[in-house]
A = this chain, B = another copy of it.
């Protein structure tokens, strides 16, 4: 049976309120008394019951982390949220929604149930507006990462994907390439179209004309990358490098290049999109555009905590820049 405030109070010969003040570093406790109390607290390793604290203070010091799929979101972001949150005295509860509206709804109820002080929603499609509204109305705090809430004013963190593509393509252009192919997923995907835009933007910046025959749209699978490469080497205007809009596609592409008897990066420099353990592990290690996960996480944590504390962050929508992680696959080496 754990100790309670009352026990400590009795031991110290003071009132509960005094102990409470002492523990919470509130003013109005005598030097002496406080010392005595803290002594006893330490000695018995007393921990206030946070449930009771929460009930009295109307806060739980818990933050919900809503992800569609634990395996598809970078852990770095979670780790960094957790780290900032911990530092501020918050714990994170992890909510795997599987992109299932029912589960999402159930989890958002946590906010309503006073289980958490706020929630960070990472990626995926947005839940029912009705629920979001409910959560917001009961002064639940919400922060969105990499997903959009149309019409609603919710603090949101985004990454500029077109800038990422531009970064990658520029890196190749700067090394003198002129016929860079882009291998991408379905172009009706908003993210993919953004990446294509960035690709064009880079070309423009370097005054390289855009060629439609260097755009290879695939289904996004490894096999898709195979076909894209075959088509690329089959055509007349052979590309001299590849920008690929996902890591899976990039892995497939590198693989087919190698099986084709070519070398990466000697024959074809390749840049992928999205960092994962794989991209750094395969050979050659892949240069990729990566989301600034740690940054994203710490921003999200800071946002939600300041919201919880009643301050509205200066920027409702903040767009972070991706970074280019330069590894082996993109270093142009003229072999001739």
Nearest Cβ on chain B to A278's Cβ, whole angstroms: 5
Q: Do the beta carbons of B50 and A114 come within 8 Å of each other?
A: yes
Nearest chain B CB to A287 CB, angstrom units: 18
Contact B96 A93 (CB under 8 A): no
Answer yes or no: A248 CB below 8 A from chain B CBs.
Answer: yes
Bound Cα distance A281, B114 (Å): 42
Residue A262 interfacial (CB < 8 Å): no
A171 at the interface (CB under 8 A from B): no
- Give the residues in chain B near A92, CB-CB below 8 Å: 93-94
Instruction: Let me know if A62 is at the binding interface, CB within 8 A.
Output: yes
Considering the chains assembled together, what is the distance between the CA atoms of A259 and B282 in angstroms?
A: 13
Chain A 134-156 interface 0/1 with B at a Cβ cutoff of 8 Å (1 = within): 10001000000000000000000
A94–B138 Cα distance when bound, in Å, is 25
The answer to whether B115 touches A51, judged by C-beta atoms less than 8 angstroms apart, is: yes
Q: How many protomers of this protein does the assembly include? A: 2
Which of B52, B93, B248 interacts with A91 by CB under 8 Å?
B93
- Measured CB to CB, the closest approach of chain B to A18, in angstroms, equals 21
Q: Does B82 contact A71, Cβ atoms closer than 8 Å?
A: no
- A71 to B54: give the CA distance in the assembly, Å: 31
Q: In the complex, what residues of B have CB within 8 A of residue A94's CB?
A: 65, 78, 82, 92-94
Determine whether A15 belongs to the interface, using a CB cutoff of 8 Å to chain B: no
Chain A's interface size range is 35 or more
Choose among A51, A79, A115 the residue with the greatest number of B CB atoms under 10 Å from its CB.
A51
**Taking the nearest CB of chain B, how far is it from the CB of A138, in angstroms?**
5
Task: Give Cα A51–Cα B205 distance, bound, in whole angstroms.
Answer: 57
Interface string of A103-122 (1 = CB under 8 A from B): 10010011011110000000
- What is the 8 Å Cβ interface bit string for chain A, positions 1-24, against chain B (1 contact, 0 not)? 110000000000000000000000
The contact of A114 among B51, B96, B278, by CB within 8 Å, is: B51
Over the window 45-57 of chain A, the binary record of Cβ atoms lying under 8 Å from chain B Cβ atoms (1 yes, 0 no) is 1011111101100
- Identify the interface centre among A2, A65, A83, A259: most chain B CB within 10 Å of its CB: A2
Measured between alpha carbons, how far is A283 from B283 in the docked complex, in Å? 12
Would you list which residues of chain A between 67 and 94 have a CB under 8 Å from chain B?
70-71, 75-76, 78-79, 82-83, 86, 91-94
For the complex, give the distance between the alpha carbons of A65 and B258 in Å. 42
Cβ of A329 under 8 Å from chain B: no
A78 contacts B70, CB within 8 Å?
yes
CA A216 to CA B321, docked complex, whole Å:
45
Q: Are A60's CB and B71's CB within 8 A?
A: no
Q: Besides A47-B112, A49-B55, A91-B93, 15 other CB < 8 A contacts?
A: A1-B138, A2-B138, A49-B113, A51-B60, A51-B114, A52-B55, A65-B94, A71-B75, A71-B277, A86-B106, A92-B93, A251-B281, A255-B282, A259-B283, A276-B277
